[in-house]
Amino acid sequence: MTDKIIEVQGLKKSYNGFVAVDEIDFEIKRAEIFGFLGPNGAGKTTTINMLIGMAKVTSGIIVYKGTDLTKNIKKAQELIGVVPDESNLYDEMSGFDNLCFCGALYGLTKKERENKAHQLLELFQLKEAANKKFKAYSKGMKRKLTIAAALIHNPEILFLDEPTTGIDVASVRQIRNLIKELNENGTTIFLTTHYIEEAERLCHRVAFIHKGKIIENNSVDNLIADSHTTNGVEIRFEPVNEKQNPLMQNLKNHFHGFDCMQVNDSTIKITSEDIIDIAPVVSFLSNEGLFIYEARLLKPSLEDAFVKATGIEMDILKKEKEKNKI
Amino acid sequence: MKTSIAFWNILRKDMLNYYLKPPNISWGIIFPFAWMLMMLVKSGNTFEINSVFPGIVAMSILFGTTSMLSVTITFERKSRSFERLLIAPLKTELLVLAKITGAILFGIFNSIIPILLSVLFFNAIVINWLVLIAGIFLLSIISTLLGLFISVSAKEVFEAQTYSNFFRFPMIFLCGLFIPVTALPAIVQPLSYILPVTYGVDVLHNAISGNGLLPIGINLIVLFAFCIILFYISIFNIRRKWIV
C-alpha cells in the first residue's frame, strides 16, 4: 500500500468568483479506502466531480497513475467506477440489462459483460431480481445494483458517494461488507459519507474538508490519537425526574479535576485531564441513591477528531444531510 | 471495436426504451394519418395530394424527432442517467451521435406512413425516389439536431416541449411545408431562408413535383452545413453547460 494511484495538487474550482474548492492537495494510495468528510457545501461533491471528469478544473492537477486527468480525461475514466449519491440506472431496464449496458459503455463484448453481470448479481445477492425492472427494486437493491454497475468493467478506483444513505439496515451491513471485500481484493476506494462511524470502520485514511480547504488528512488512527485531549466516562442510571444539580456539584467537590454534565434524565458524562477510575465514581453515585446500570470509558473517536478540526457538531451535520435527502 | 460496442448499445437501449414503445409507434402512424384526413376533409373534391404530400412528410419527421429526442435527453438528464454516459470513456461526439441516431431512425419511420398513404391511396407521383429518400434522411437529421439543440438548453421535460413548440410551429408556416416560401410576405421570407427545415422541405418538393425553389445540390450543401454547425454547437453546449 505504498504507491500513489491518484495525486491531486493545488486543485481549485471557482464559479463566478466563489471558490468552492481552494487549492487542495492529497493523494490516494493503491488499495486503500480513502474517506472524504465534510459538511454540506464544503466542496466534497465538487471535488469528486472534478476527479471523475464531470466538472472542469479551474487550476491544479489531478494525476491518475501518471496520466494528467485535465489533459486526458477519457483515459482516466477507463480506470474509475462511480457510484453517485443517487441511484441513476435505467428504470425501464432489468437489473441484468442495466449491468450489461454499463459494461458495453466500457467496450466489453457481449460474452464478457454477461459473464461479469452474472458474477456481480451473485456477489450482491441480486440474482433473484436479475430480470426485474430497476424501478421495481427496493432502495437497498437499487443501491447495490448501482455499485455493481460501477464495477462491471473492473475499475481500479471506485468512487462511492454516500453509499449507505437512506437504505435499510440489512443492506447497509451488506454494502459495508462488500466495500471491505472489494478493497481486500485490491480495489482502491474513495468514499464520502456522513456516517462518520462508517468512515472510522472502513477507511484507512481520511481527509476533512471544510469551506473548500482540506483541514486534516491523516490515517484514522492518527486523527483519533491527535483528538484525544481529555478522558471521559459515561454513566447511565434509572431515570430521575429532575436535574441533579447538587449531585453534580457534590461529584465535582469529591473528585477534584472532574468536569461533570448531566446529559439527560438518565445519563451523566464526566471528563477529566487525568485518567478516571470508574469504580469509586460508581460507588459514590450509588451511595447518593442512583441505580446505575452502565458505566463505560469514553474512547476518542473519529467524530471527536472531526468536531475538533471543523468545530461542527456531528448532530448538525447529520440533520443537514437528512434534510437534503427529504 | 470498443467504441462501436458502446455506440450500438446506446442506440439499442434508446430504441428499446423509447422509440419502439407502443405509444411512440402509434404516434408515427396516427399523426400523419390525422393530418392527411384533415387535409382531405378540408379540401373536399379539390384535394391535390402532391401539394400537401411534402408538408405532411416534413411535419411528421419534424414533430416526431424534435419531440422524442428533446424529451428523452431531458428525461435522462433529470434522472441523472445521462451522467452515466458522460463519465464513460467515450468521446462526446460519439455519445451524441449514438443518441441522435435513434431519433433519426424514428424520423425516417415517421415518414413511411404518409408516403404509403399518399402513393397507395391517393396516387401521388414521386418523380425522383432517390432524391426523396435523400431528402427524408437529411430532414430527419436536421430535425433531430434541432431537437438536440433544444434539449441541451432545457432542464425539464416541459421546458423542452415548450422550446420545441417555439421552433416548430413557426416552421410550419415559414419553411414551405404548406405555404410556398415565395407566397409569404417579403418581410418574412429572409426568416425562411435561415431555417434549415426550408431546405429539407425544398428537397422533398423537388423529389415529388420537381417544383423546388432551389436546385437540389444547393439544398443538400446547405443542409449538410447546417447539420455540421448544429452538431458542433450542441457538442460545445454539452461540454459548456453539463460539464461545468
DSSP B165-228: HHHHHHHHHHTTSSS-GGGS-TTTHHHHHHSHHHHHHHHHHHHHTS--SS-HHHHHHHHHHHHH
The reply to whether B91 touches chain A by the CB within 8 Å rule is: yes
Q: What's the ipTM?
A: 0.87
Average pLDDT over residues B118-134: 87
Looking at the predicted structure, is the pLDDT value of residue A242 above 70?
Answer: no
Q: A139-151 and A110-123 are packed helices; what angle lies between their axes, rounded to 10 degrees?
A: 140
For A137-151, A173-187, B28-42, B102-116, which range has the lowest pLDDT when averaged over its residues?
A: B28-42
Per the structure block, which three cell numbers stand in for B209?
413535383
Distance from CA of A227 to the nearest CA of B (A): 37
Per the structure block, which three cell numbers stand in for B8?
450500438
Distance from CA of A65 to the nearest CA of B (A): 16
CA–CA distance, B148 with B141 (Å, rounded to integer): 10
Looking at the predicted structure, is the pLDDT value of residue A321 above 60?
Answer: no
Are A4-226 and A229-298 equal in CATH topology? Answer: no
Tell me the three state secondary structure of residue B1. coil
Instruction: Report domain extents, chain A.
Output: 4-226, 229-298
List the one residue out of A174, A196, A160, A175 whose CA is nearest residue A28: A160
Which chain B residues are Cβ-neighbours of A55 within 8 angstroms?
Answer: 243-244
CA–CA distance, A87 with B81 (Å, rounded to integer): 9
List the one residue out of A216, A154, A212 whose CA is nearest residue A203: A216
C-beta separation of A69 from A51 below 8 A:
yes
> What residue has cell string 456477489?
A123
Q: Which residues of B209-239 are buried (b: 16+ CB within 10 A; e: fewer)?
A: beebbbebeebbebbeebbeebbeebbeebe
Looking at the predicted structure, is the pLDDT value of residue A326 above 50?
Answer: no
**Which CATH number is associated with domain A4-226?**
3.40.50.300
Largest Cα separation within chain B, whole Å, is 59
C-beta separation of A188 from A30 below 8 A:
yes
Tally of domains within chain B: 1
Tell me the three state secondary structure of residue A212. coil
Write out pLDDT tens, residues A54-81.
999 999 999 998 888 888 888 889 999 9
Candidate from B10, B88, B91 with C-beta closest to A106: B88
Looking at the predicted structure, is the pLDDT value of residue B49 above 80?
Answer: no
Which chain B residues are Cβ-neighbours of A109 within 8 angstroms?
Answer: 5
Q: Which residues of B186-197 are buried (b: 16+ CB within 10 A; e: fewer)?
A: eeeeebbeebbb
CA–CA distance, B10 with B92 (Å, rounded to integer): 13
Q: Where are the beta strands (DSSP E) in chain A?
A: 4-15, 18-29, 33-37, 59-64, 67-68, 80-83, 157-161, 188-192, 205-210, 213-219, 231-237, 258-264, 267-272, 292-298
> What residue has cell string 382531405?
B40
Question: How confident is the model at residue A178, as a pLDDT?
Answer: 92
CB burial class (10 A; 0-12, 13-18, 19+) of residue B33? Answer: middle
For A65-69, A109-113, B137-141, which range has the lowest pLDDT when averaged over its residues?
A: A65-69
CB neighbours of residue B204 within 10 Å = 29
The reply to whether B233 touches chain A by the CB within 8 Å rule is: no
For A170-179, A194-203, B148-157, which range has the lowest pLDDT when averaged over its residues?
A: B148-157
Q: Scanning every residue of chain B, which has its alpha carbon at the shortest distance from the alpha carbon of A100?
A: B9
Confidence of residue B78 (pLDDT cuts 50, 70, 90): confident
CA–CA distance, A58 with A19 (Å, rounded to integer): 10
Asked if A91 and B79 come within 8 Å (Cβ–Cβ), the reply is: yes
Most B CBs within 10 Å, among A79, A105, A106, to test the B interface? A105
The reply to whether B79 touches chain A by the CB within 8 Å rule is: yes
List the one residue out of A81, A61, A79 whose CA is nearest residue A70: A61
- Give A24's strand partners: A11
Write out pLDDT tens, residues B157-207.
888 888 888 888 889 899 998 889 999 999 999 999 999 999 999 999 999
Most A CBs within 10 Å, among B3, B13, B85, B86, to test the A interface? B13
Residues of B numbered 4-63 whose beta carbons fall under 8 angstroms of chain A's beta carbons: which are they?
5-6, 8-10, 13, 17
Residue count of chain A:
326
Candidate from A82, A89, A109 with C-beta closest to B87: A82
Eight-class DSSP state of A230: S
> What residue has cell string 494511484?
A5
Average pLDDT over residues A276-304: 87
CA–CA distance, A102 with A120 (Å, rounded to integer): 13
The reply to whether B87 touches chain A by the CB within 8 Å rule is: yes
Asked if B17 and A90 come within 8 Å (Cβ–Cβ), the reply is: yes
Tell me the three state secondary structure of residue A68. strand
Candidate from B5, B91, B243 with C-beta closest to A104: B5
Asked if A88 and B13 come within 8 Å (Cβ–Cβ), the reply is: no
Report CA torsion sign: A126, A132, A138, A139: positive
Confidence of residue A316 (pLDDT cuts 50, 70, 90): low
Question: How confident is the model at residue A314, as a pLDDT?
Answer: 60
For A26-30, A237-241, B107-111, B189-193, which range has the lowest pLDDT when averaged over its residues?
A: A237-241
C-beta separation of A159 from A51 below 8 A:
yes
CA–CA distance, A268 with A259 (Å, rounded to integer): 10
Which chain B residues are Cβ-neighbours of A146 within 8 angstroms?
Answer: none
Distance from CA of B95 to the nearest CA of A (A): 10
State the distance between the two ends of chain B, measured CA to CA, in whole angstroms.
30
Tell me the three state secondary structure of residue A78. coil
Average pLDDT over residues A299-316: 79
> What residue has cell string 428504470?
A91
Asked if B87 and A106 come within 8 Å (Cβ–Cβ), the reply is: no
CB pairs under 8 A between A and B: 67
Q: A220-227 and A302-310 are packed helices; what angle lies between their axes, rounded to 10 degrees?
A: 70
Fold of A229-298: Alpha-Beta Plaits (3.30.70)
